[in-house]
Chain A
Amino acid sequence: MSGTPRPPDPSGDSTRARLRGRPWSRVLPVAAVLLVVVSAVTIRLLPTGGEVSPPASVADGTPMLVFAEFGLKADHIYLAPADAPDERTLVDTVEHADGWGINPATALAGPLVAYTVIPPTGPPERNSPAEVWVMNLETRNKTRLARDADLLVPPVFTPDGQGLLYRRSDGTQQEIVQIEVAALTRRAVHTEQTTFGMFPIGVDATGALLFARLSDGGTDLYRAHEGGETAFVYHLSDDIARDWRLSPDGRALSYLTAEFVNERVAYRARVLSLADMDSPTEAPLPATMDEGGEHYGPVWAPDGSGITVGQEALVQASEPAVTLGLDGSTSALAPAERGFDVPLGWAVGGRYLAVRWFSGTNSQNPGLDATVIVDRKGARLPVEVDTEVIFIGWYSGV
């Protein structure tokens, strides 16, 4: 190596000339530092492929199930036609920390899939900072949106699909953050100190964030307008409520709450009308077959006319999922030979319902599980994989 000064670069490249004018002993450390700094601040935004034609089944109107097959180190995301789940197409492989799979958003936003995941380099612990990703099923492009999410709290798309809500924690401080997916900007919508937790539910018909909040008083529903005050909406339960879902129009909320019936505790579905935010009211639901029995996984019918719930199979060998209409109607789906179903989500059009089927009787004795597509016309189509199926949603084209 030589430190002898050189004349200016005749090419006119002043940077190169300046570098040549310096001894290597000066340049190399600068370059090394620059390399380190650039490497440290680079955020990966990985377009992983080009335009991809929509799958044939979407073109012919059949919705596609989007699911992940869990793997110890990586999950495989597939698309499969609702009427032929074996004919699946691999969409993507998501590597993750050993044993901890992806946690998808409760639904897709058009072609966008969102999920939290602990990256493979992350500590395999439930409280490890998780990444938030979105993937476009049409282009297969995917983008990392954040690296500070709580893994176990699923992100939620805003109704227009432009925004994504997720939760992050720092000690006892929790924040619900909204990311603008296209602009890659984010802002905290609500922050609080809590030893319990809060959970983003979605954006209601007025554009306000709805979130559930646990405390020693139970579970409460709150709403927060951007830049405005946080307001209490409704006391959902004296205990831990769960499985909250906003109706398609954002004017009603379904959830499960514990009820003490016949000397036992059963989680049962309720619907809260949010049409009048100043005085939300519980909407009556028709009786299910086993009154007082457990309900599972309420999901909204695509047209918002009612919710579909699973029921425990305590009396019969099996109990079907049943749709409870807000008009008082009931409609049972095809049951399994034994066990019970936990609804996961309806496909647009309302013909196909993805469920997690359990071979046992109820939450205390669930037995084995599998993912099944229930056709309203009577068929039950298992999604056969060797490991756990992680339901992501339904894709029906754009």
Chain B
Amino acid sequence: MSDGLLRRLPRRLSRLIPGRARLLLLLAVCAGVAGALGPLGAPEAHACAFDPRRPHAYEADQQRVAYGMAMDAVSTNALFSGNPFFSLPQIETGTRASRRDAAPFIPSVLLKAISWVESDMTMAQRSVRFDSIGEALVSFDCGHGMMQVTTGMTVPLGAGNKPSDRQALIATHYAFNAARGAQILAEKWNAAPEQRPIVGTDTASAPEVIENWYYAVWGYNGFTGPGSTMSNHPLDPQLASPRAAFRCDGTQARNRYPYQELVWGCLANPGQRNGQALWEDVDASLPDMTDPATFQAMSVANWRFPYRDMDIRTPTPAHIATTPALPSDFRARLLASPSLQTSNERVTIRLNDPGATGRATVNIRNSGTGVLSWLAESSENFVILTPPAGVALGTGAACTSGVCPHGTLTIEVNPTLLPASSASATVTVRSPNGGAGAVTIRVDVIADFEVGGPGTSRAR
């Protein structure tokens, strides 16, 4: 592979460096690139949909009003009903013997607590200001955004091995991220009874009962058993016992708690900003491990797929979630009507001019309202696009920093992949939620060097 890459170096440039040194230089460059992509000493990261670059996302208001509204809306399938990719599925209810489909419903407070545990309910990196645009939150295992959506985000799923529209929406737009997180939680719930146990044998496993989501929430992080390194089993000897409830305020190490108890702790102790709780507190009950039936259900003898002997009654006292009230204009506020402003651009990138930046930037504009997600693709592989996906804000989407409302696409060139000393490519920017328009950018690259003395080069 390295020889092939080297052959594609501009001939005059390649003549400057002898063969073995070229190989070493390539190794060094590769090592440098690898170093630049991750902190030294960081564990090996998974491949993710947008690797090696990160998309940009919109970080909405600090009080998480927009995020909370989005979770309220997706929890009852009010936002994406009929959408083949983002609608909430029907939620099964009933006991093992009488399971049936029911209306889509998740207690929205569960989504809020999960997102707090996962990301402090943020879509972007910590350095990104609220009401602004910046690098999306992507974890080492490809968890994206405030729900840390991993499923379906580990490899590009679009045509030509490029990220798909759905992946771009999940990574960049909070409403879609919330919807995908809700879908995943619903999938964990609906995995019962065929593959997972049921909570609520005495309450028809009603999804309105928050306590009945205990196993589904456990599964959101991994339905993992006692003794394993990833264990979320409440009786695991690795976890302290007794343990005080998780307070969700940053004063306790997570080491002592299974995942579902972190979420339960945040249900009871909502995140706060500016003295205000970000959701209504619910002091949900945990399964009573002193109850023989519950204890036996959790025993190691029952820890085997499909876990049919782990069904338990609803922990008491139980708490009923109601359908959240949404403002009449919630759809307009959450999804709005973004519109990608179509344009044709042409940029020239000079690699042979020491005074040139070697890159070009193009603004991506939203002539509509709300948050527009966009994806950029190049016709040629020597073009590097940063970010590969992002957002542009229209009217109605708050923007308080200088990096918005427009998205900024930076175009660079990998000289080792240039087919010749001058080349052209076409970059296309499209939007999965902003109409059929596109931004088309012709990129001309000039990298024609002239050889001076041995070991030197100078721009023409």
Contacts and interface: CB of A to CB of B under 8 A. Distances in A.
B455 A388 contact: no
A33 interface: yes
Interface in A189-216: 194-199, 212, 214-216
Nearest to B457: A1
A280 B387 CA distance: 65
Interface stretch (A47-55, A105-113, A226-234, A356-364): A356-364
Contact of B304 (A216, A265, A267, A294): A216
Contacts of B455: 1-4, 23-25
Given A2-B456, A32-B28, A195-B228, A265 B42 contact: no
Given A3-B454, A33-B28, A215-B300, A260 B292 contact: yes
A269 to B, nearest CB: 13
B155 interface: no
Contacts of B237: 199, 212, 214, 240-243
Residue in B28, B139, B235, B242 whose Cβ sees the most chain A Cβ within 10 Å: B242
Contacts of B292: 260, 263-265
Contacts of A260: 292
Interface of B: 16-18, 20-22, 24-25, 27-28, 31-32, 35, 39-43, 139-141, 225-231, 235-239, 241-245, 250-255, 259, 288-292, 295, 299-301, 303-304, 453-456
A29 B235 CA distance: 55
A121 B42 contact: yes
Given A121-B41, A239-B300, A388-B253, A4 B454 contact: yes
A36 interface: yes
Contacts of A126: 229-231, 254-255, 259
A151 B43 CA distance: 15
Contacts of A28: 25
A369 B230 CA distance: 26
Contacts of B242: 296, 342, 358, 362-363, 366
A266 B295 CA distance: 10
Contacts of A36: 27-28, 31-32, 35
A218 interface: yes
Interface string A257-301: 010100111110000000000000000000000000010100000
Contacts, number: 198
B223 to A, nearest CB: 12
A318 B20 CA distance: 77
22 contacts: A25-B21, A29-B22, A29-B24, A29-B27, A70-B252, A99-B253, A119-B41, A121-B43, A123-B43, A123-B141, A195-B225, A197-B226, A197-B228, A197-B238, A212-B237, A216-B303, A238-B301, A239-B295, A240-B237, A242-B235, A243-B237, A264-B292
Contacts of B250: 72, 99, 387
Given A2-B456, A123-B139, A364-B289, A153 B20 contact: no
Interface residues of A, number: 77
Contact of A169 (B28, B228, B243): B228
B290 A214 contact: no
B110 to A, nearest CB: 20
A169 B22 CA distance: 40
A240 B226 contact: yes
Contact of B43 (A3, A25, A128, A195): A128
A151 B255 contact: yes
A95 interface: no
Nearest to A69: B251
Given A39-B40, A195-B228, A197-B228, A362 B255 contact: no
A219 B254 CA distance: 25
Given A215-B300, A265-B295, A390-B253, A362 B290 contact: yes
A373 B144 CA distance: 44
A85 to B, nearest CB: 18
Contacts of B24: 29-30, 32-33
A129 interface: yes
Contacts of A4: 454-455
Contacts of A166: none
A362 B242 CA distance: 7
B274 to A, nearest CB: 19
B41 A100 contact: no
